[in-house]
Amino acid sequence: MGVKKNIASICQLFNLLQSSWMMILMAFIRYPGIQDSTWFAGLTFFQLIFTCLIMQSLLLASVAPLNCSEPTTKSLLMAIREEVIDYSDARPVISLKTPTNVTVDLTLYGILGVNEKSQVLETYLWVRTRWQIEGLTWDPAECGTKKISLPREKIWFPDIVINEFMDENRAPDTYYVYVTSTGQVIDGRPFHIISSCKLDIYTFPFDFQNCTYTFNSYKHSRDDVQLFFYKPVKDIFKESLDLMTTKGEWELIDMLAEKPVYSFLEGAWDNLIVHVGGILNIEGNLECVLAAACSTMT
């Protein structure tokens, strides 16, 4: 039974308990000889039981699994459409006071170029994000699978941006995300990034460069969306070294990470910052470096 169907049951329970409460209240009125302390103690105790039952019912409703009539793609898709897709215009939470936690993971797959004169870095990233559709679960045996791929535009999607972008994403578009039987959404996208980076070439050949990628939500403050690293930055660095296919003029030395919170106008925003440290390896290209240095001094 889905969440919406359980709401009707909760309302019925609410009405039943309310009727019982009124019956007890009438009994106290009919027998005025009961002491005041007994009156208030009994009423308070009943209020406590009433509140606990309502909270328990709400909790059970929020985690009720989808009802698949058969273990087929069609049955699961129909259930998901009713409970998720039809409500994709808003964040997937039971209460809008609950923030959506989004984890970010990335792999620096390639360093395609460095433009010392324009102070930009061209890279290729794999970025993976994960978040939860609150209250969504299904039985893999009943529905036939542990996960299903859905078009990205059919579900709510966090508006995570990379602040250092200087141009549009040149990587191929991807159109699908995975939704698991536990309600987790897993998205993976390639990014061909032209990003701003302050390059210091005056200490060549001892220059250590530090470029950054800053991830944050463009619109949602941390009251609505909170960001977290999916894994330690040392694992991101190791994986990037293992999988990097090209590094051009840049030799990757280290990666660091931090999570500052920036306040602005009406709220505060989570930021995930990845520092990419490296050395410009420009043997045979010294003339280009000197030309870039001269142009920045004039």
Q: Note the pLDDT of residue 60.
A: 43
Pick the closest to residue 108 from 235, 230, 199 (CA basis). Answer: 235
> Percentage of residues in the chain with pLDDT exceeding 90?
55
pTM of the model: 0.75
Give the helix ranges, DSSP H, for 180-263: 233-243
| pLDDT-derived band at 231, boundaries 50, 70, 90 | very high
Q: Note the pLDDT of residue 167.
A: 86
Q: Note the pLDDT of residue 36.
A: 53
Do the Cβ atoms of 109 and 244 come closer than 8 Å? yes
Q: 255: which 2 tokens?
A: 């990666």
Superfamily of chain region 86-297: Neurotransmitter-gated ion-channel ligand-binding domain (2.70.170.10)
Among the ranges given (106-115, 198-207, 218-227), the one the predictor scored with the smallest mean pLDDT = 198-207
Per-residue pLDDT tens for 9-58? Answer: 444 555 555 565 556 556 555 655 555 555 554 555 556 555 544 554 44
Q: 210: which 2 tokens?
A: 């530090």
Pick the closest to residue 87 from 161, 2, 181, 14 (CA basis). Answer: 2
Task: Kindly tell me the sign of the dihedral angle through the C-alpha atoms of 139, 143, 145, 148.
Answer: negative
DSSP per residue over 105-151, as a string? Answer: EEEEEEEEEEETTTTEEEEEEEEEEEEE-TT----HHHHS-SEEEEE
Q: Over the chain, what is the mean pLDDT?
A: 81
Q: 288: which 2 tokens?
A: 């280009």
Does 5 or 186 have the greater pLDDT score?
186
Do the Cβ atoms of 42 and 24 come closer than 8 Å? yes
- Half-sphere exposure of residue 102: CA atoms within 13 angstroms, side-chain side: 30
Which H or E element spans position 58? helix 36-62
Q: Note the pLDDT of residue 220.
A: 95
Among the ranges given (43-52, 140-149, 271-280), the one the predictor scored with the smallest mean pLDDT = 43-52
* Residues 122, 248: Cα–Cα separation, whole Å: 10
Q: Note the pLDDT of residue 42.
A: 55
- Half-sphere exposure of residue 86: CA atoms within 13 angstroms, side-chain side: 8
* Residues 88, 134: Cα–Cα separation, whole Å: 12
Phi, psi of 18 (to 5 degrees): -65, -40
Does 294 or 226 have the greater pLDDT score?
226
Q: How does strand 250-258 pair with strand 225-229?
A: unpaired
Per-residue pLDDT tens for 78-109? Answer: 999 988 898 899 999 999 999 999 999 999 99
3-class secondary structure, 207: coil
Does 282 or 187 have the greater pLDDT score?
187
- Half-sphere exposure of residue 27: CA atoms within 13 angstroms, side-chain side: 10
**Domain ranges for the chain:** 3-64, 86-297
User: Is 260 a residue whose pLDDT tops 90?
Assistant: yes
* Residues 237, 270: Cα–Cα separation, whole Å: 22
Q: Note the pLDDT of residue 226.
A: 98
Per-residue pLDDT tens for 154-190? Answer: 999 999 999 999 888 889 999 999 999 999 999 999 9
